Amino acid sequence: MQEPSVQEPTVQEPTVREQPYAVEVRGLEKVFTRRKGLGRKRRVALKGVTFTMERGECVAILGQNGSGKSTLVRLLSTLLLHDGGDAWIFGRDVFKEERAVRRLVNRVSVEASFFKKMSAAENLAYAARFYGMGPRETHAKIPEILERVGFPAGRRGEAMENLSRGMQQKVALARALLTSPVLLLLDEPTTGLDPRSKQEVQAFIREIRLRHDSTILLCTHDMHEAEDLADRIGLLDRGELLFLEPVAEVKERYGATTLEEAFFAATGRTYEDEQTEEDEEREVFA
């Protein structure tokens, strides 16, 4: 008679890391529901998104309109509730330790809010106070940081509402850096900027990487920007992260010479294709 075969328990080697990942996302889900006529419409914005980022790394996430980039950024900055999965930032649970996470993260997005009647310098001073910086430190740091983002010295005292979008974007970046966050979440930091401002902001992002110990998650539509600034590139497609790897590996895997070609090979669509009903259905964030 044959011995009953006893299945050896498979022992999974625990991954021992001295430090937690800068970002660890496991099976992250987000579903939006909204009223449509008499019923409700569900929109899955993120489907089981999983990835990790090392400290000091810069990762760019590409994806068409509505692919879930901003949703990911908003979840990681504790601005949205999730519908499944987990996320940690430097080992802190994003959905259970919100306060600790907020101290580690700074988000720059097109929706950046300022006191419109106040100047760039005043807005930065306010933010500095909010983060507990002393007046002496603030006094020295604000002009320096504005200069570094390429903000003209002569306009430091001008009301925010009189500044162009590009200028405002620079102030938003300066504000994000004031407190030296360890994780910077940049949601389309150069969209809508003129070529020169765009280059200045990109140069600044490069400089942040050199000067600060920052980890950067950059969402962008600009493939060249992604390739230029990031160590690895991810592609979100309708809420799914199709890949996240160094650009050379992305190209090799899809036999592509450009990221545009790789995008086409991965999704069967060109990047410009199909901006669909997603756009029309967009809701303005409250």
Ligand X SMILES: Nc1ncnc2c1ncn2[C@@H]1O[C@H](COP(=O)(O)OP(=O)(O)OP(=O)(O)O)[C@@H](O)[C@H]1O
For binding to ligand X (CB under 6 A), which residues are involved? 32, 34, 43, 45, 63, 65-71, 278, 281-283, 285
Q: Closest separation between CB of residue 238 and ligand X, Å?
A: 8
Q: How far apart are CA 56 and CA 40, in angstroms?
A: 42
Q: Closest separation between CB of residue 138 and ligand X, Å?
A: 33
Q: Specify the stretch interacting with Mg ion by CB under 5 A; choose among 50-58, 62-70, 141-149, 206-214.
A: 62-70
Give the Cβ contact number of residue 75 at 10 Å: 25
Angle between helices 120-130 and 165-178 (to 10 degrees): 30
Q: How far apart are CA 30 and CA 170, in angstroms?
A: 30
65 touches, from ligand X, Mg ion, none (C-beta below 5 to 8 Å by class): ligand X
245 touches, from ligand X, Mg ion, none (C-beta below 5 to 8 Å by class): none
Token pair 């080697």: residue: 13
Interface with Mg ion in residues 85-144 (CB under 5 A): none
Q: Closest separation between CB of residue 16 and Mg ion, Å?
A: 36
- Say whether 190 sits in a helix, a strand or coil: coil
Cβ-based nearer residue to ligand X, 79 or 118: 79
Cβ-based nearer residue to ligand X, 142 or 232: 232
Q: How far apart are CA 241 and CA 48, in angstroms?
A: 8
Cβ-based nearer residue to ligand X, 71 or 106: 71
User: Which backbone phi and psi does 4 adopt, to 5 degrees?
Assistant: -65, 130
Q: Closest separation between CB of residue 86 and ligand X, Å?
A: 19
Q: Closest separation between CB of residue 144 and ligand X, Å?
A: 32
User: Which backbone phi and psi does 241 adopt, to 5 degrees?
Assistant: -85, 105
234 touches, from ligand X, Mg ion, none (C-beta below 5 to 8 Å by class): none
45 touches, from Mg ion, ligand X, none (C-beta below 5 to 8 Å by class): ligand X
Q: How far apart are CA 167 and CA 197, in angstroms?
A: 8
Give the Cβ contact number of residue 61 at 10 Å: 25
- The answer to whether the CB of 62 falls within 8 A of the CB of 234 is yes
State yes or no: residue 70 binds Mg ion (CB under 5 A): yes
- The answer to whether the CB of 129 falls within 8 A of the CB of 137 is no
State yes or no: residue 67 binds Mg ion (CB under 5 A): no
Cβ-based nearer residue to ligand X, 130 or 285: 285
Residues found near Mg ion in the complex (CB under 5 A): 69-70
